[in-house]
Amino acid sequence: MKIFVDINDPGNFSFAECLVFLGRSDKENLHFIRDGRLQKMMVADGRLVLATVTGVEGEKMGVDVRLVEKGVAGETQGISDKAIACISQYVTRWLHLDGALQPFYDFAAQQPLLAGLPERYKGLRLIGIPDLFETLCWTIIGQQINLTFAYTLRERLIRHFGCSVDLDGQTYHLFPRPEVIAALSPEVLTGMQFSGGKARYLIATAQEIVNGTFSMAALDRMDYHQAKERLLALKGIGNWSANYILMKYGRFPEALPLEDAGLHNAIKARLQLSAKPSAAELKAITGKWGQHAAYATFYLWRTLLPQ
């Protein structure tokens, strides 16, 4: 079955640019890029499906959907309208298909630090993480370590505690469910090279979701400031983590992970500084970003990847 998902501002959308960012790590095991297509296993309306984002067709994104039963994909009659809506919403949030880049591009043209980036990476959308628990875990895992080791730890978490399906010679993984992580002891994770703090934070976060004291539905009803305060109340979530989550999951345009080392390195390189900018310099540079902060950060991150 093929479904089509609307693309807002299609003139400023590039699937190829999105794939560059999505393909930045060879340790990625939740999605795969093959022959210019993006594949991901997901659960939609209680059914396991393989979604293949095939590319832009007119002003819509094409997505092939195959129902998976016992490691075999093919039948599509069991895919409900609710499942199709779930897949459409996921792809939209993942690739920010409902976004509009022209306001950011107009702003960037007036900023020496950002000027030229819209032309260089035209159509790149802010790649998100549509699942809140996955976003929380990835944020906790990535704290104060380099990206390569963060991907290694994430890969271990997924392989040990997530579900997997072998299909067409490829193993597809699903991110672990909160109830699985909530039931772990910290020693299980520290034995996999997670720090003691990260082990405790991951388990505590999972327990909050399982207990119903924190949820996607609740966060989605909040504005930026409310959501940030709620996130900061979670164990192990500081200012950088909260803004990263609000940027990648919440899609708040003003979210600014100011403490991010990658952002500092990108600014240093763009401005040809001899050292990373100070806290005062960072605030002066980013203070004018306002509603463009998330995209400014993301495009600066993109400069750190191969061209």
Active site amino acids? 260
Q: How far is CA 301 from the centre of its chain?
A: 13
Taking Cα atoms as reference points, which of 54, 30, 33, 53 lies closest to residue 42?
30
Q: Report the candidate in 140, 173, 143 with the shortest Cα–Cα distance to residue 39.
A: 173
Distance between CA 265 and CA 262 in Å, rounded?
5
**Contact between 109 and 139 (Cβ < 8 Å):** no
Coil/strand/helix, residue 4: strand
Q: Are 255 and 289 in contact (CB under 8 A)?
A: no
- Residue 242 and residue 233 in contact, taking contact as beta carbons nearer than 8 Å: no
What is the spatial distance between Cα 29 and Cα 32, in angstroms, rounded to a whole number? 7
Torsion angle in degrees (nearest 10) through CA of 149, 242, 212, 201: 40
Tokens of 31: 């999605």
Rounded to an integer, what distance in angstroms lies between the CA atom of residue 282 and that of residue 162? Answer: 39
